[in-house]
Amino acid sequence: MSNGTVTIPPNAGAPEYGLDLVPDIDFAVKDPTVIQSEVILDYQAAFLALTGIAKALAPGDPVRLHLLAVCEWLSHQRTIIDFTGKMNLLKYAHDDYLDNLAALHGDRALRLQATPALCTLQFTLAAQLSFDALIPAGTQVQAPNAVTFETLEDVRLISPSLTVQVGAQCTLPGVIGNDFAPGQINSIINWNQAFGLQVANIDTTHGGADEETDDQYRYRVWLAIESYSTCGPRDAYEFWALSASPDIIQCVVHSAPEIAGEVWLYPLCRGSTRAEFLPSSEILALVEASCSAKTRRPVTDFVTAKVPTVVEYLLDMTYYVSSDNEVLLSTIQSNVQQAVADWIVWERSYISRDINTDELVRRCVEAGAKRITVATPSPGFQVLDFDEIACHSETVAPVINYGGIEDP
């Protein structure tokens, strides 16, 4: 029996948004075989009607070859027609087409742009100075992989102090500036003063987010109609909370009858660690600011953004493989490891999602396992409250035991 661990893939766990209530449609038949059949049959019917002669176009008939060239052109044209029609519908629109469709709602539905990562830099003098030293805004500091941060404001080293701290942001927007550990950003690249300085970030860089994805954006546009209400419906709060940052992938809105007038917002961010997918104080502040009492919600609502409550569990499971599939053992073992990793991500990718090991069993069986037994979590089904999120322990690795080969 062997024991395995799983690695959670980075940047996983974003909920998949879809407009399931809207049916699929096509604006034109694009299948080349259907087009060819229709054109050739129509030609043969027209030839018969005009001449009284039944003519079947053989594969090498010059007329047939000419018609096949026309069919290819028709197929391309119908593809363009279908594409053009669908780009006018929210369910199918993407990229710039989706942005133009969202423009019907004005600036409230603009796509959220990428934001730069932030950190705090500490500058340290090599020796005490007899005067106050200015470190101007825009002073640039580089990380080992050439990602650059620049200071956000002028700051002075007041003599005889040797250190001063200042906020900085990445010169490139997006997640590229995230997760530099304290001390990694330590090279000044545009310093030309007579006195020497050392610099280092004192916190892990954070807050960088890529441009809002099409799926997230489509869901917000779907909710945008609710944002026109001044009554504070649930969907309107969700729309404005999701609009606070492209890093937010879900927001639970709650107002219990016993606390009428209070609204609690629980955002969830993308990421692979709790420090990333649980909202930071900065994200909570952005959510509260986005739900402004002045322009976006009733002034009588008391709104608070909160961190979801973590319900921690440990996974200990054993899986078995059928002897019929023994030749595929190594592939099945790899697939089961991935299925477990995906299930862990699935569990913590949505606030209030119940702990459900039946879903784990399904995924492992689809990965090739004959059967699995789950020792923990126990019980295998646990109902979570509206503000709870199921997270596997970050200090204890999941235990995945291979139980061996069994008869079918």
Per residue in 218-245, pLDDT tens?
A: 989 988 888 887 767 888 999 999 999 9
Residue 401 CA to residue 392 CA, distance in Å, equals 17
**Is there a contact between 267 and 282 (Cβ–Cβ < 8 Å)?**
no
Architecture of domain 223-307: 2-Layer Sandwich (3.30)
Question: Of the candidates 105, 111, 97, 284, which has an alpha carbon nearest to the alpha carbon of residue 212?
Answer: 111
Q: State the average pLDDT over residues 62-91.
A: 92
**Token duo for residue 407:** 């008869």
Residue 394 CA to residue 313 CA, distance in Å, equals 10
**Is there a contact between 273 and 217 (Cβ–Cβ < 8 Å)?**
no
Residue 187 CA to residue 368 CA, distance in Å, equals 51
Domain boundaries, the chain: 32-109, 118-201, 223-307, 311-406
**Is there a contact between 157 and 244 (Cβ–Cβ < 8 Å)?**
no
This prediction has a pTM of 0.70
- φ and ψ at 264, to 5 degrees? -110, 130
Per residue in 10-52, pLDDT tens?
A: 444 444 444 667 788 999 988 899 999 999 999 999 989 999 8
Residue 166 CA to residue 365 CA, distance in Å, equals 53
Percent of all residues in the chain with a pLDDT value above 90, rounded to a whole number: 71
CB atoms near residue 101 (< 10 Å): 19
